[in-house]
Amino acid sequence: MITMIGGLMMVGFTAYAEPPSLSLPIKCEPGTDCWLVNLVDHDPKKGMRDFRCTDHGYNGHKGTDIAIRHMAAMRAGVPVLAAAPGVVTTFRDSMPDRVPSAEFQRTKHDLFCGNGVVIRHADGWETQYCHLRRGSIVVKRGQRVDRGQRIAFVGHSGMATFPHIHLSVRYRGRVIDPFVGANRKTACQAGEAPLWTAAAMQALSRPLTAVYSIGFASTPPKVHSIRKGLYQDAALPRRAPALVLWAEVFWVEVGDKVRLRITGPDGASVIDYRNVLPKRQARRTISAGRRKRGLFWPAGIYHGEIVIERRDASGETQRFTARRDVELKD
């Protein structure tokens, strides 16, 4: 049985053994089919402060979360990989993949990792992989694993509200942020010797805001159905009662300017929706559409686009975009 070990990471102590070098713990391309969403909490009190001195995560978060697109991707199978060579010390593989109930959240803190694997590395270092898909673990206790070896698939078990891999790194029970490493001299930035390999660090060094899923629907889409992986059709019937463009976004900010556009096969605008977001959210669904006029939609390819604009602290404009086409036909 897996237990969660250790408190929040404290920066500035020394006398560490040589730490492991960590590659990505998931087989995917960050920014394309997986996304960095939550970071380690460095605030010892009730707030959340990540290594950048922002708050991408939640109070007491002890690892790094990398999400996949939806439940359909989870069912297809996204491999979880050993981030460094070591020996499996414990695992759990029996918990269901589902949104945790209110009772689970209140009473089952010892099961929050869900299905997981702990790997021991040299000199007191270990990594823990949480929220694995039930029945997917392919390693055993005492087994030696190599870097990049598949140990399971990404799942939705334990205290997980979306399918993702949670990686915790510990040194003798103390949580270590892999973006910082054992020590750093300057706050609010990555450490001078992060634990990630150069390739992993580069892959994960992108804004956490991302449009990670987009599609069309013929009726107002339901959020839980989007997150199951529905509304992914490449074609819709011309008699569809409406045409709705939807998008899912990680980490929107107060004041973000959102624009959703659908353009018809003749180049004419079907919708041009604009809004300013009123609050910060870790995950947001945005949609806009139009009801059908007449008996049929004109046949052809319809183009959808979402653009999110944000003015950063330096005054520069950041843009986050995604596009999707759909064919309307008989």
Domain C-terminal end among 183, 204, 225: 204
Q: Report the DSSP beta bridge partners of residue 38.
A: 65
Domain holding 281, by residue range, is: 210-329
Residue 29 lies in a domain: no
* Residues 142 and 170 occupy one common structural domain: yes
Specify the 3-state DSSP secondary structure of 203: helix
* Residue 271 burial by Cβ neighbours in a 10 Å radius (0-12, 13-18, 19+): middle
Domain C-terminal end among 204, 231, 259: 204
- The total number of residues shown for the chain amounts to 330
Domain C-terminal end among 154, 182, 204: 204
* Residues 63 and 170 occupy one common structural domain: yes
* Residues 183 and 246 occupy one common structural domain: no
Residue 291 lies in a domain: yes
Specify the 3-state DSSP secondary structure of 224: helix
Q: What is the CATH number of the domain that holds 61?
A: 2.70.70.10
Q: What is the CATH number of the domain that holds 258?
A: 2.60.40.3880
Specify the 3-state DSSP secondary structure of 152: strand
Q: Which two tokens stand for residue 54?
A: 């922002």
Say how many CA atoms lie within 13 Å of 191 toward its Cβ.
18
Nearest Cα to Cα of residue 33 among 156, 154, 142, 170: 154
* Residues 195 and 247 occupy one common structural domain: no
CA Rg, the chain, in Å? 22
Q: Which two tokens stand for residue 154?
A: 């990404």
Residue 169 lies in a domain: yes
- What DSSP character marks residue 190? -
From residue 15, alpha-carbon distances to 67, 123, 173, 193 in Å are 34, 12, 15, 15
* Residues 140 and 159 occupy one common structural domain: yes
The domain total for the chain is 2
* Residues 242 and 111 occupy one common structural domain: no
From residue 166, alpha-carbon distances to 23, 131, 178 in Å are 14, 7, 12
Residue 283 to residue 37: CA distance in whole angstroms: 9
* Residues 214 and 247 occupy one common structural domain: yes
Per-residue pLDDT of the chain (330 residues; tens, 9 = 90+): 333 333 333 333 345 678 999 999 999 999 999 999 999 999 999 999 999 999 999 999 999 999 999 999 999 999 999 999 999 999 999 999 999 999 999 999 999 999 999 999 999 999 999 999 999 999 999 999 999 999 999 999 999 999 999 999 999 999 999 999 988 889 999 999 999 999 999 999 999 999 999 999 999 999 999 999 999 999 999 999 999 999 999 999 999 999 999 999 999 999 999 999 999 999 999 999 999 999 999 999 999 999 999 998 888 999 999 999 999 999
* Residues 194 and 245 occupy one common structural domain: no
* Residues 288 and 319 occupy one common structural domain: yes
* Residues 199 and 219 occupy one common structural domain: no
* Residues 96 and 237 occupy one common structural domain: no
> What is the separation, in whole angstroms, between the first and last Cα of the chain?
55
Residue 119 lies in a domain: yes
* Residues 46 and 171 occupy one common structural domain: yes
Residue 236 lies in a domain: yes
Residue 3 lies in a domain: no
Nearest Cα to Cα of residue 208 among 156, 282, 155, 260: 282
